[in-house]
Amino acid sequence: MHGSELLGSGDLARCCCLMGWAPWPGVPAIRHGRSIDSAGILVKDAPMLGIDLKGKRAFIAGVADDGGFGFAIAKCLYEAGATVCVGTWPPAYGVFTKLLEKGKFDESLTLRDGSKMEFEKIYALDADYDTLEDIPEELRESRRYKQHNDVSIAGVAAEMKKDFGDTPLDMVVHSLANGPEVKKPLLETSRKGYLAAVGVSAYSYASLVSHFGSLVKPGGSFVALSYMAAARVIPFYGGGMSSAKAALESDTRVLAYEAGRKWGHRVNSISAGPYNSRAAGAIGPMQLMIDYASKNSPLTSELTAEEVGTSTAFLCSSLSSGITGTVMYVDKGYHTMGMTVELADEISAVVGPSHGRG
């Protein structure tokens, strides 16, 4: 039998259990991804995502265009059945919402079944500030900020409560970073630039968990995006950004403990491989890093944003209910390598082909 497997009713129940869905009379057993037809055939590779987040709501901090991880994560969570609210940096809010309205993102918003993702609400969020009082008067009164009420993390949490009730959320994703001196090596980074990078890119995760923790139903999930520079030297990832990612990963563990004990929430991070987003473009010629990673990873295809999205959906789902405090690499295995393939080739020219280079 090609492309499908025949299931008995016991198999069906077992399969549903394994996949985290409960089969009950009158309701199609699996709605996304693999589906089961009336003859009990498990159809593989059905188009929608094989994770069920139906009836759940996500908040993703850090979506301002269709080119980064946040947007791809939104699509995956939406495809899994969640409703999705996003937080957008005020300087980018106007352009993002205008382009959405004009249909400029229609193609990117299109899902595998042809329908279109819709954001439930787009909040203006500046993750640099925890409360309204923290935002300098001059910034609050500036053109891109004064049209919004309170763009601080606490302000957005309060607005969400007003919009959707006391515990409106099931999952929160932190997909934002900023390092004003990212192009400077650490030796030339100012204290101000370093602290700015750590404040926006790392402390904001702690603040997000702190302010949104009580809005998330018990057993909820937080996920942040990290990068391998937290643990290894990546030249050109400067300005304190490597320090910020190291802090983010350490905080992931501590927050997992504290939020786990306080609310039963899980807190994880995904360390993603290089990807050509708008933010990454600010660091330098990303394609060189992407090509290098492809050349030297166990899996040689380029990382897609969707792969980060589906991994996030997994970490947000009950399928990962036992996982917290973890930094999960989604980088085609690049982090596991201890030698460049170029050197492996040179050595194999002398001693013969090595494993995997046959």
Ligand X SMILES: NC(=O)c1ccc[n+]([C@@H]2O[C@H](COP(=O)([O-])OP(=O)(O)OC[C@H]3O[C@@H](n4cnc5c(N)ncnc54)[C@H](O)[C@@H]3O)[C@@H](O)[C@H]2O)c1
Q: Measured between alpha carbons, how far is 317 from 308 in angstroms, rounded to an integer?
A: 14
Between 254 and 282, whose beta carbon lies closer to ligand X? 282
Q: Measured between alpha carbons, how far is 101 from 66 in angstroms, rounded to an integer?
A: 14
Q: Measured between alpha carbons, how far is 245 from 201 in angstroms, rounded to an integer?
A: 7
Residue nearest to ligand X (CB): 68
Q: Measured between alpha carbons, how far is 239 from 194 in angstroms, rounded to an integer?
A: 6
Q: How far is the CB of 29 from ligand X (least distance, A)?
A: 35
Q: How far is the CB of 201 from ligand X (least distance, A)?
A: 6
Encoded amino acid at 315, one letter: L
Angle at which helix 341-351 crosses helix 286-296, to 10 degrees, equals 40
Question: Which among 57-65, 211-219, 292-300, 347-355 is the span making contact with ligand X, rule CB under 6 A?
Answer: 57-65
101 burial type by CB count under 10 A (0-12 exposed, 13-18 middle, 19+ buried) = exposed
Q: Measured between alpha carbons, how far is 283 from 260 in angstroms, rounded to an integer?
A: 35
Question: Which among 126-134, 183-191, 333-341, 350-358 is the span making contact with ligand X, rule CB under 6 A?
Answer: 126-134
Q: Can residue 69 be called a binding residue for ligand X (CB under 6 A)? A: yes
Closest CA to 266 of 324, 205, 314: 324
Judged by CB under 6 A, the residue of 33, 50, 68, 168 near ligand X is: 68
Question: Which among 63-71, 181-189, 211-219, 346-354 is the span making contact with ligand X, rule CB under 6 A?
Answer: 63-71
What SS3 class is residue 70?
Answer: helix
| Site for ligand X, residues 273 to 302, rule: CB under 6 A | 274-275, 277-280
Between 30 and 279, whose beta carbon lies closer to ligand X? 279
Between 64 and 328, whose beta carbon lies closer to ligand X? 64
Closest CA to 127 of 239, 238, 242, 210: 210
Q: Can residue 175 be called a binding residue for ligand X (CB under 6 A)? A: yes
Q: Can residue 29 be called a binding residue for ligand X (CB under 6 A)? A: no
Between 21 and 329, whose beta carbon lies closer to ligand X? 329
Q: How far is the CB of 10 from ligand X (least distance, A)?
A: 43
* Opening angle at CA 209, ends 275 and 191, nearest 5: 65
237 is catalytic: yes
Distances (CA, A) of 314 to 53, 211, 333: 10, 23, 18
Q: How far is the CB of 258 from ligand X (least distance, A)?
A: 21
Encoded amino acid at 197, one letter: A
| Site for ligand X, residues 178 to 197, rule: CB under 6 A | 178
Q: How far is the CB of 9 from ligand X (least distance, A)?
A: 44
Handedness of CA 86, 89, 94, 95 (dihedral sign): negative
Q: Measured between alpha carbons, how far is 248 from 213 in angstroms, rounded to an integer?
A: 17
- List the catalytic residue out of 227, 275, 329, 334: 227
Q: Measured between alpha carbons, how far is 99 from 78 in angstroms, rounded to an integer?
A: 20
String marking each residue 223-242 x if it binds ligand X according to CB under 6 A: --xxx---------------
Between 41 and 234, whose beta carbon lies closer to ligand X? 234
Neighbours of 350 (CB within 10 A): 6
Between 176 and 215, whose beta carbon lies closer to ligand X? 176
- List the catalytic residue out of 78, 93, 194, 237: 237
The number of residues in the chain equals: 358
Between 33 and 179, whose beta carbon lies closer to ligand X? 179
Q: How far is the CB of 49 from ligand X (least distance, A)?
A: 19
334 is catalytic: no
Catalytic residues: 227, 237
Contact footprint for ligand X (CB under 6 A): 62-64, 68-70, 89, 92, 125-128, 175-178, 200, 225-227, 272, 274-275, 277-280
